[in-house]
Structure 1
Amino acid sequence: MRAFAQILLLSLLVTMLAGCRDQINLEDATLSLMVGIDLNEKNELLFYISSPVFSREAKEKSEEYGIRSSTIRESRMGFDERVTGLTQAGKIQVLVFGKKLLAHPDWFRLLDVVFRDAKFSVNARMAMLDGPLHELFDFKPKDKPRLSIHVTTLIDTANKRNLTVKTRAQELHRQMYEKGMTPTMTELKKEKRAVKAVGTALLKKNGTYAGLIEPRDTILLQTLLHEKQGELSVTIPIKDPNDHKQIVKDRISFFIKGVQKKIKTTYQNGRFHFDVHFKLRVSISERMFPFDMEKDYKKMERMISDELQKDYMKLIKKCQDIGVDPFGFGIYARAYEYKEYKKVEDDWMKAFSNATVEIKPDVSIKGNGVVK
C-alpha cells in the first residue's frame, strides 16, 4: 500500500512537470545565427539573417536572406515567408550593423525586442561593418565554414589576441546607459576574398559612430580596461634617422606577461586629473637590431616605456578630440570625486575632453628569449 502511494505521488509530480509541447525538430527550424540591420539608399531599414541548413539534399550549407521591414519582430514574418523552417532568434551569435545605420542616434531603439523578449540571446556579439551589409551576407567563401560560424570565430579569435573588443548585447546595453563611459564594438570590413576584423568601433554617448581605433591601439585600450586579459603582443619602432631607407626596420616586439594598474583621480582648477601608473612585465619576442641586453637592459626598459607612453597619450588625445571615453574614466571620477562628477554627469564627454590624463608605464623586462 505504501509503495502504491509513492508511485501515485510520483506520477502526479511527473504530470506537473513542464512538458515539451512547444518543441521544434531541428530540421523544421531556421536558426538565425547571424542577424544584420542596415539602411538602403532611401533610408529604409534592411534586415538580414544567416542560418545553417540541416538537409542532406541541400547543396548550400547555409541560407542568407535580406528584407525591408520596420522592426526586428516584424522582419521575422518576412523571413518566415521565405525560409525553410520556423525562424528562431534564441541562438543568435552575431548582430551586425551597417555603418550607415550607426550614423543615426536612434538606432539602438531597434534592439528593444532583444532585451524585452526572454527568448532572444543577450550573449550575441555586437559588430559594425564598414560598408553595406549585403556584401557580407552575400559572401560565400569556399575555404571557410558557414558564414555565421566564420564571423563568430573571427571575432572571438581577434579578441583573444586583443585586436578588437568583444561586446555582447547585454554589455552594450550597460555601456549605452552608463554615463561614465562610451560604447565600443567590433569593427569588420568585407574585402574582396575575406572578412577582416579591422579594430574597435568607437561610439558616442548617443550611439552614433565616432571613429575607429586599429588593433595596435585596441591592445592599449584593453590594458586600460582589463589590465592583463588574453594574449598581449606589441611591436614598437626604435627611432633611427635612416629608418626610412632600410628594408628591415628597427623594431622590437614583446609579450606583456603581467599588468598592474593604479589610477589616481583628483579634481583641481576646474578639471579632472587622472594619473595612471602601469607596471608592465614583458618578455622580448623579437628584436630587429643589435643591442647588448645584458649590459643595457635598463636602457631598453626606458626606451620601451617612453614609446608606450607616447602611444597611450596619442590614443587618449584622439578619444578626447572626438568626444568619447571608452576607457571608463567617468566611472573613476564618480567613485573618487562624486560631488564634482555629479555636476557634469549629463555631459561627461565635455568634461573628459578637458580632463588631464597622464600615463606612466613602468616596464620590467623578465625574458629575452633563448638567444642573446
Structure 2
Amino acid sequence: MKKIILLLCVLSTLYTVGCTREGQRSSVEDLALVSSVGLDYVNEKEIRMTVSIPQPRGESPVLTEVYSVNTEMIQEGLVNISSEADKMIILNQLRTILFNEEFAKSGKVTKVIEHFYRDSTIGNKVRLVIVKDKAEEVLRADYPENEHMDAYLNDLFQPKLHNSFSPFTSINDYISDQESPIYHTMIPYLEKKEKSLKIIGIALFNDEKMIQTISNQESLLIQALKGLEKLSPIAIKFKETEQDQQLLVEQIENVLKVKSNKNIDSPKLDISLKLEGVIVEYKGKRDLSKNEENKKLEKEINKHIAKEIEDLLKKLQESEVDPVGFSEYFRMYHKGKWTDDLTMKVIRSAEYKVNVKFKILNTGTLK
C-alpha cells in the first residue's frame, strides 16, 4: 500500500512540474524566426538593421516579413524589432548576414560578427555577404522568379562546384582568418540587378576593413593557389594571339607545389601549378583534332594563366593583402613567434616565380 501511495505522489509531482514548464513555454505563434540580417552604415554611432522573417505559406499575405530600425547596438535593435513585430525575435534559424559596402569599409564588421559568434543559438555556418549598395534594399526587394526571398538568398550561397565565385565565407571562417597572422579575409560581393541578385566579385579585407574587390576569375585563381584540387570552370579569353579567341574549361584538376627560399629578409617563392581539364567550348582557328595543335594550345593556356596569376599577385602585393597565406611558407621555418608585422614584411617584398603546366584531357564543342 505504501508503494502505491509513493508512486501516486511521484506521478502527481511530475504532472505538476510538467504543467508548470508547459505554461512557461513560448508559443510558436509568438516567435519570429529570422533568416537574414542586413546591416547598413548610417554614421559613426548608428547602423540601420533589417531582418527578414519567412512566413508559412497560407498564413500570411506575404511570404517574407521585413522590419528595419536604426540602432546603436545589435541587441537593442533586435529588441526594438521584436516590439514592432509584436513577436520575440529568435536567431536560431539565421542563415545570412549582409553588410553594405560602406559598413564594410568602416571597420565595424568584426565587432558585429563577434557579437553573433558569441551567441550560442547561432550556428557557425551562417554565411557573410557584402552588398554593393544597401542591404535593406536586397532584403525588401521582390524577386519574381524566386518568390521566397530567404530561400533564394540561402541557395545562392550554398557551395557548389560550378559556382564561379569562391569562397563561401561563414562566421567561423571570418573569425578564424581574423585570429590568424597568416591569412586575410575574403567575402562574396553581391549586387542587386533589377529583379535578381548577382555575385559580381569578392571583397578583400586588410585586418578589419574592406579595401577592394577582385573578380570571380581572380578569386578562382586564389583557390588554385591555395591548393584546391577541383576547380570551378574557367573561361579564358586570349588577347595576344590571333590563332585563339576564347575557350571554356571544365572538370579541372589542380596540383599545387610551392617552394620558398626560407629567407624573410629577401623572400622568394617558386609556384608550380599542374592543371588538367576538358575543353567544352573553343573559338579559334586551330584544328584541335590534331595532336600538334592541341600541344600549341596548351602552351598558350600556360602563358595566359601564368600571366593572370602574376598580375593578380602584383595587385595583392600593392594592396598589402595575402588571402592565399603565402607567408605560411616562411612561418614554418621561423624560430619564435610569428606576428602580423612579419606577414606584412613578406607580403611587401616577396618575389614570385610562376610556372603553369596545363594538359587538355578532351575537347567538346569546337568553333
TM-score, structure 1 normalization: 0.85
Deviation for aligned residue 1:272: 1.6
Q: CA separation in 1, counterparts of 2:256 and 2:35? A: 38
Structure 1 segments of 4+ aligned residues over 6 angstroms from their partners: 14-17, 19-22
Q: Is the 8 A contact 1:52 1:62 kept in 2?
A: yes
Listed one character per residue, the Cα deviations across residues 325-345 of structure 1 (whole Å, up to 9, x for unaligned) are 11111223212x313983x64
Deviations 1:291-328 (A, max 9, x none): 13323222221111110001111111111111111111
Code of the residue aligned with 2:307 in structure 1: it is K
Equivalent residue number for residue 226 of structure 2: 225
Give the letter aligned to residue 236 of structure 2: I
Compare 307-316 and 193-202 and name the one that shifted more: 193-202
Secondary structure of the corresponding residue to residue 329 of structure 1: coil
Q: Deviations over 1:87-122 (max 9, x none)?
A: 111111101111111122243112332122211222
Note the C-alpha offset of 1:132: 2.0
In structure 2, relative to structure 1, the CA distance for the partners of 1:350 and 1:99 (3 Å cut) is farther
Alignment correspondent of 2:157: 155
Measured in 2, the distance between the counterparts of 1:20 and 1:121 equals 26
1:253 aligns with 2:255: no
Q: Which amino acid aligns with 1:235?
A: A
Quote the residue 2:328 is aligned against: 331
Distance in 1, matches of 2:345 and 2:264, equals 16
Decide whether the 8 Å contact of 1:267 with 1:340 is kept in 2: no
Answer with 58-67 or 252-261: which moved more. Answer: 252-261
Unaligned runs of 5+ in 2: none
AA partner of residue 232 (structure 2): L
Asked if structure 2 preserves the Cα contact closer than 8 Å seen for 1:276 and 1:360, the reply is yes
Residues 179-328 of structure 1: pairs in structure 2 closer than 5 A: 179-205=181-207, 207-229=208-230, 232-239=232-239, 250-268=245-263, 270-293=265-288, 294-296=290-292, 297-328=294-325
Does the CA contact (< 8 Å) of 2:39 and 2:136 recur in 1? no
> Contact conserved, 1:93 with 1:152, CA < 8 A, in 2?
yes
Deviations 1:216-237 (A, max 9, x none): 11211121224224x5211212
Give the 3-state SS of the residue equivalent to 2:157 in structure 1.
Answer: helix
**In structure 2, the residue corresponding to 1:81 is in which secondary structure?**
helix
Tell whether the 8 Å contact from 1:282 to 1:366 is kept in structure 2 after alignment: yes
Worse overlay, 22-31 or 282-291: 22-31
Measured in 2, the distance between the counterparts of 1:83 and 1:313 equals 52
Secondary structure of residue in 2 paired with 1:170: helix
Task: State the Cα RMSD in Å.
Answer: 3.0
CA distance in 2 between partners of 1:371 and 1:159 (Å): 24
C-alpha distance in 2 between matches for 1:256 and 1:263: 23
Which residue type is aligned with residue 307 of structure 1? Answer: H
Which 10-residue stretch deviates more, 184-193 or 301-310? Answer: 184-193
Shift of 1:151: 1.4
The answer to whether the Cα contact below 8 Å between 1:257 and 1:282 also exists between their aligned partners in 2 is yes
SS in 1 for 2:211: strand
CA shift at 1:350, angstroms? 4.1
Aligned match of 1:246:
none
CA drift at 1:168? 0.5
CA shift in 2, pair 1:283/1:85, >3 Å: same
When residues 53 and 308 of structure 1 are mapped into structure 2, their CA distance, relative to the original with a 3 A threshold, is same
CA distance in 2, matches of 1:362, 1:241: 19
TM-score (norm 2): 0.87
SS of alignment partner, residue 364 of structure 2: coil
SS of equivalent to 1:292: coil
Q: Name the CA distance, whole Å, in 2 between partners of 1:265 and 1:360.
A: 14
Q: Alpha-carbon deviation of 1:238?
A: 3.1
Over 3 Å counting, the alpha-carbon distance change for 1:162 and 1:339 in structure 2 is farther
CA contact (8 A) 1:38 1:45 kept: yes
User: Does the 8 Å contact 1:114/1:122 carry over to 2?
Assistant: no
Would you say the 8 A contact 1:159–1:166 is kept in 2?
no
Quick one: distance in 2 between partners of 1:116 and 1:43?
22
Query: Gapped runs of 5+ residues in structure 1?
Result: 244-248
Residues 162 and 233, structure 2, Cα contact 8 Å, conserved in 1: no
The amino acid across from 1:250 in the alignment is: Q
Specify the code of the residue in structure 1 equivalent to 2:158: D
5 Å-filtered alignment, 1:1-372, equals: 24-40=26-42, 44-54=46-56, 56-156=58-158, 160-205=162-207, 207-229=208-230, 232-239=232-239, 250-268=245-263, 270-293=265-288, 294-296=290-292, 297-335=294-332, 337-339=333-335, 342=338, 345-369=340-364
* Conserved 8 A contact 1:158-1:197: no
